[in-house]
Structure 1
Amino acid sequence: MKKIMTHTFTAALLLLAANQTWAIDAPGRTECIAPAKPGGGFDLTCKLLQVSLQETNAINKPMRVTYMPGGVGAVAYNAIVAQRPAEFGTVVAFSGGSLLNLSQGKFGRYNVNDVKWLAAIGTDYGAIAVRADSPYKTLNDLMEAFKKDPNAVVFGAGASIGSQDWMKTALLAREVGIDPHKMRYVAFEGGGEPVTALLGNHIQAVSGDLSEMVPYLNGDKLRVLAVYAEQRLPGDLASVPTAKEQGYNLVWPIIRGFYMGPKVSEAEYQWWNDTFKKLVETEEFKKQRNLRGLFEFNLTGPELDAYVKQQVNQYREMAKSFGLAK
């Protein structure tokens, strides 16, 4: 009996020690890195986290948002892996575009296995927009003009050739029988710049993410011709038609989330996992997510890691079909 009690007591101590291993305090300083200039999807993702953490009192001091443009995520990825791999308080925003670039080897010597994938907090959808006073009233109007004269339409987007914005435009071109490599495509750094260029009448259409366009919809400045979702989105966006209903077989969801440096401890990584699981269930977070035009998509830890690696493999096969990856 005494032996059994000793074993039970020892097991209880081990369990208590294990629980205490994860029971660590919040980081004293927190930072979200947006791998682009202010404006656009990465900035939106960081601001969503910044406001939500503060509103729910998950941290004691406001989170800092910093901008690290370059290579549509490559500079930030390399900095975290090589220079800042163990920072408990630092998270970096990523999107489906980041994963597409990883699939093509655009992040230099580092690959999908070199960071800790932390949490997905929403999904966006690809979309194409023109100025509100554009002669193109529908996606068919735009694509007919493009098909008639590919040089007549200049597409702008927040990333280079091979990026998800380019890929979405290339898929549209392929739908109407135009060689994607012959379309006029202007690459900007970040999602905010092409919208500015469109409003300045320097380009005819923006191929981007719907959330980047939502702030402009109520001001009668932009007309979204199509969203790349399976079906129309709810609420204020219900009036935006899908590409599919207009005869174009294009669906493109865009995951938004965060990763951390590879040398962050398991206890610190678990703190963030637990925090995100609680955060996404709060009404404050849901309100902030909705304000930014994102839709529910919550994954953390190993589940996100598996999803990310599956997506990278799928994107690599797609890139190969355009001659952009080996």
Structure 2
Amino acid sequence: MRVPIHWAVLCLAVAALVLPSPAGAFPEKPITCIAPANPGGGWDLTCRSAERVLREEKLVSQPIAVENMPGGSGAVGIAHVVTKRKGDGHLFVAASPALTFTMALKRTPYGYKDITPLAAVAADFGAVVVRKDAPWKTLKELMDAVKANPTAVAFAGGSAPGGQDHVKAAKVVKAAGADPTKMKYVPYQGGGEALASLLGGHTQAFPGDISEIAGQLEGGQIRVLAVLADKRLPGTLKEIPTAKEQGFDATYVVWRGYYAAGGIPKAQADWWVATLAKMVKSPTWQKIAGDNKWFDLWMGGEDFARFLEKDLETSGVLLKELGFLK
């Protein structure tokens, strides 16, 4: 018996609906990007930027949700990933040197070998920031105040003591000839909270990142006393002096990247690296990077993993030099 063509087409359509996905199809379900801090800081921005680009550029077929998971400068986030999401390729986590310091300080039992490093996608730079109405007009004036009375200037930071923001401030204080272990540091759960503390007058300085303070700088709410780069940054930041040119040999580069859970299939890890590589080349990412004062940086897969192991080693040395690690 001849089957009418329209009926045959219908049967094929129904069959297609019930057939399993092609072998290796990924991702198969919604994705989560974990920002291991409260909204408003660098990790939050790193996650939300990826979510927007991957969605708008249609690089991912599944929806992406951003989940804030503050605590311990990344320790809570990595513990969640290692203990509850092992082998799950449907999440990625924002990372930066702050996580490296958390590992070096032994504030987490987990290391980079317990997760899957994916890629570093941008470079940011540290900066020393005060309120627009602060009495200090230069970095020297601020450091003179710190040397005269180490507790007179409270530095707000978005990481735990000994973490990334603390280290940025400590490098400048040490370069000024003062003891970084005696400076007053007030930790918050992310750069957004630390910046809010500064703007609210609860603290006097913020050793943040350029990307974290870009909006407040353009809005005239803050004064950037120094950028922690080897040379002045281009564009709208070119008028900001470096710490080095003011006589303080202190620099700090912030890599921004992502990691996935440990134990995920190699094919999924490769998919993530390839997808993130496409992301950073997209017009949408380039626009976001420009708006956030991020600079081009790419390290993917094994290159990034090797870099992280070296970064962990050098971070331990730095923490010992600053007196934060015995």
In the superposition, the TM-score normalised over structure 1's length comes to: 0.90
Q: State the shift of 1:84 in Å.
A: 0.7
Q: State the shift of 1:104 in Å.
A: 2.0
Residue pair 1:81, 1:261 contacting (<8 A) in 2 also: yes
Match of 1:15 in 2: none
Residue pair 1:123, 1:255 contacting (<8 A) in 2 also: yes
Q: State the shift of 1:105 in Å.
A: 1.5
Whichever residue aligns with residue 63 of structure 2, its letter is P
Q: State the shift of 1:177 in Å.
A: 2.3
Q: 1:139 and 2:139 equivalent?
A: yes
Match of 1:191 in 2: 191
Choose 68-77 or 272-281, whichever is displaced more. Answer: 272-281
Correspondence 1:237-276 to 2 at 5 A? 237-276=237-276
Match of 1:51 in 2: 52
Q: State the shift of 1:28 in Å.
A: 2.7
Whichever residue aligns with residue 250 of structure 2, its letter is L
Q: 1:118 and 2:101 equivalent?
A: no
Match of 1:99 in 2: 100
> Can you list the C-alpha shifts for 1:209-237, whole angstroms capped at 9, x where unaligned?
11111111111101111110111111111
Identity rate, percent: 37
Q: Distance in 2 between matches of 1:229 and 1:203?
A: 24
Q: State the shift of 1:117 in Å.
A: 0.2
Q: State the shift of 1:303 in Å.
A: 0.6
Q: Distance in 1 between matches of 2:284 and 2:298?
A: 15
Match of 2:168 in 1: 168
SS, match of residue 273 in structure 2: helix
Residue pair 1:127, 1:224 contacting (<8 A) in 2 also: yes
Residue pair 2:130, 2:206 contacting (<8 A) in 1 also: yes
Q: State the shift of 1:157 in Å.
A: 0.8
Residue pair 1:30, 1:89 contacting (<8 A) in 2 also: yes
Q: State the shift of 1:317 in Å.
A: 1.1
Q: State the shift of 1:27 in Å.
A: 3.9
CA RMSD of aligned residues (A): 1.5
Match of 1:232 in 2: 232
Residue pair 1:24, 1:268 contacting (<8 A) in 2 also: no
Cα distance 1:151–1:324, how it changes in 2: closer, same or farther (>3 A)?
Answer: closer
Q: State the shift of 1:320 in Å.
A: 1.9
Residue pair 2:181, 2:323 contacting (<8 A) in 1 also: no
Residue pair 1:27, 1:88 contacting (<8 A) in 2 also: no
Residue pair 2:34, 2:92 contacting (<8 A) in 1 also: yes
Q: Distance in 2 between matches of 1:63 and 1:290?
A: 23
SS, match of residue 152 in structure 1: coil
Q: Distance in 2 between matches of 1:316 and 1:136?
A: 32
Residue pair 1:44, 1:292 contacting (<8 A) in 2 also: no
Q: Distance in 2 between matches of 1:164 and 1:133?
A: 26
> Can you list the C-alpha shifts for 1:238-261, whole angstroms capped at 9, x where unaligned?
121111111110110001110011
> Can you list the C-alpha shifts for 1:4-42, whole angstroms capped at 9, x where unaligned?
xxxxxxxxxxxxxxxx98x63334311100001111000
Q: State the shift of 1:175 in Å.
A: 1.8
SS, match of residue 207 in structure 2: strand
Q: Distance in 2 between matches of 1:171 and 1:67?
A: 29
Q: State the shift of 1:123 in Å.
A: 1.0
Residue pair 2:114, 2:262 contacting (<8 A) in 1 also: yes
Q: Distance in 1 between matches of 2:173 and 2:285?
A: 38
Match of 1:13 in 2: none
SS, match of residue 161 in structure 1: coil
> Can you list the C-alpha shifts for 1:124-160, whole angstroms capped at 9, x where unaligned?
1111100011111111111112222222211111112
SS, match of residue 206 in structure 2: strand
> Can you list the C-alpha shifts for 1:43-93, whole angstroms capped at 9, x where unaligned?
010011011101210123431100101101001101101111122220010
Match of 1:219 in 2: 219
SS, match of residue 50 in structure 2: helix
Match of 2:81 in 1: 80
SS, match of residue 205 in structure 1: coil
Match of 2:10 in 1: none
Match of 1:203 in 2: 203
Whichever residue aligns with residue 288 of structure 1, its letter is I
Q: Distance in 2 between matches of 1:24 and 1:309?
A: 31
Say how many residue pairs are matched.
Answer: 305
SS, match of residue 305 in structure 1: helix
Q: Distance in 2 between matches of 1:285 and 1:101?
A: 28
In the superposition, the TM-score normalised over structure 2's length comes to: 0.90
Correspondence 1:139-158 to 2 at 5 A? 139-158=139-158
Q: State the shift of 1:322 in Å.
A: 3.2
Q: State the shift of 1:286 in Å.
A: 1.1
Q: Which runs of 5+ in 2 are unaligned?
A: 1-21
SS, match of residue 151 in structure 1: coil
